Amino acid sequence: MASNFLFIGGLGGSEVMLILFAVLLLFGAKRIPELARGLGRGIREFKDASKEIRNEIENTTTADKEQPVK
Protein backbone atom coordinates (compact mmCIF):
# COMPACT_ATOMS: atom_id res chain seq x y z
CA MET A 1 0.00 0.00 0.00
CA ALA A 2 2.89 2.35 0.69
CA SER A 3 4.04 2.12 -2.92
CA ASN A 4 0.72 3.65 -4.02
CA PHE A 5 1.46 6.81 -2.05
CA LEU A 6 5.07 7.43 -3.09
CA PHE A 7 4.07 10.75 -4.66
CA ILE A 8 2.99 12.07 -1.26
CA GLY A 9 6.51 11.96 0.15
CA GLY A 10 7.01 12.34 3.87
CA LEU A 11 3.42 12.94 4.97
CA GLY A 12 2.53 11.34 8.25
CA GLY A 13 -0.79 10.27 9.65
CA SER A 14 -1.59 13.63 11.22
CA GLU A 15 -0.96 15.50 7.97
CA VAL A 16 -3.21 13.12 6.03
CA MET A 17 -5.95 13.53 8.63
CA LEU A 18 -5.62 17.32 8.38
CA ILE A 19 -5.97 17.18 4.60
CA LEU A 20 -9.03 14.92 4.84
CA PHE A 21 -10.58 17.25 7.41
CA ALA A 22 -9.98 20.25 5.12
CA VAL A 23 -11.62 18.41 2.20
CA LEU A 24 -14.59 17.59 4.41
CA LEU A 25 -14.94 21.23 5.41
CA LEU A 26 -14.60 22.53 1.85
CA PHE A 27 -16.97 20.15 0.10
CA GLY A 28 -19.24 18.82 2.82
CA ALA A 29 -20.20 15.25 3.60
CA LYS A 30 -22.89 15.09 0.91
CA ARG A 31 -20.62 16.17 -1.98
CA ILE A 32 -17.67 13.85 -1.25
CA PRO A 33 -19.34 10.68 -2.66
CA GLU A 34 -20.30 12.61 -5.80
CA LEU A 35 -16.72 13.80 -6.22
CA ALA A 36 -15.38 10.28 -5.70
CA ARG A 37 -17.79 8.88 -8.32
CA GLY A 38 -16.78 11.56 -10.80
CA LEU A 39 -13.11 10.87 -10.16
CA GLY A 40 -13.68 7.14 -10.65
CA ARG A 41 -15.49 7.74 -13.95
CA GLY A 42 -12.68 9.99 -15.14
CA ILE A 43 -10.03 7.42 -14.28
CA ARG A 44 -12.03 4.67 -16.00
CA GLU A 45 -12.42 6.76 -19.17
CA PHE A 46 -8.70 7.53 -19.15
CA LYS A 47 -7.83 3.84 -18.82
CA ASP A 48 -10.24 2.91 -21.63
CA ALA A 49 -8.80 5.58 -23.92
CA SER A 50 -5.22 4.55 -23.20
CA LYS A 51 -6.13 0.90 -23.83
CA GLU A 52 -7.68 1.82 -27.20
CA ILE A 53 -4.59 3.77 -28.21
CA ARG A 54 -2.33 0.90 -27.14
CA ASN A 55 -4.42 -1.57 -29.18
CA GLU A 56 -4.30 0.67 -32.25
CA ILE A 57 -0.52 0.95 -32.00
CA GLU A 58 -0.15 -2.81 -31.59
CA ASN A 59 -2.48 -3.48 -34.53
CA THR A 60 -0.55 -1.04 -36.70
CA THR A 61 2.80 -2.59 -35.86
CA THR A 62 1.55 -6.15 -36.47
CA ALA A 63 -0.02 -5.09 -39.77
CA ASP A 64 3.27 -3.49 -40.83
CA LYS A 65 5.17 -6.68 -40.02
CA GLU A 66 2.74 -8.81 -42.05
CA GLN A 67 2.97 -6.70 -45.21
CA PRO A 68 5.82 -7.62 -47.57
CA VAL A 69 8.51 -5.00 -48.03
CA LYS A 70 8.68 -3.57 -51.57
Q: Which are the contacts of 4, defined by CB distance < 8 A and separation ≥ 6?
A: none
pLDDT at 61: 82
pLDDT at 19: 87
- Rounded average pLDDT over 35-51: 94
**Torsion on CA atoms 54, 60, 61, 66, rounded to nearest 10:** 150
Cα separation, 38 vs 32, in Å, equals: 10
Cα separation, 44 vs 50, in Å, equals: 10
pLDDT at 6: 59
Cα separation, 56 vs 62, in Å, equals: 10
Does this model's pTM top 0.85? My answer is no
Over the stretch 2-12, which tens digit does the pLDDT of each residue have?
555 556 667 78
Over the stretch 22-38, which tens digit does the pLDDT of each residue have?
888 988 888 888 988 99
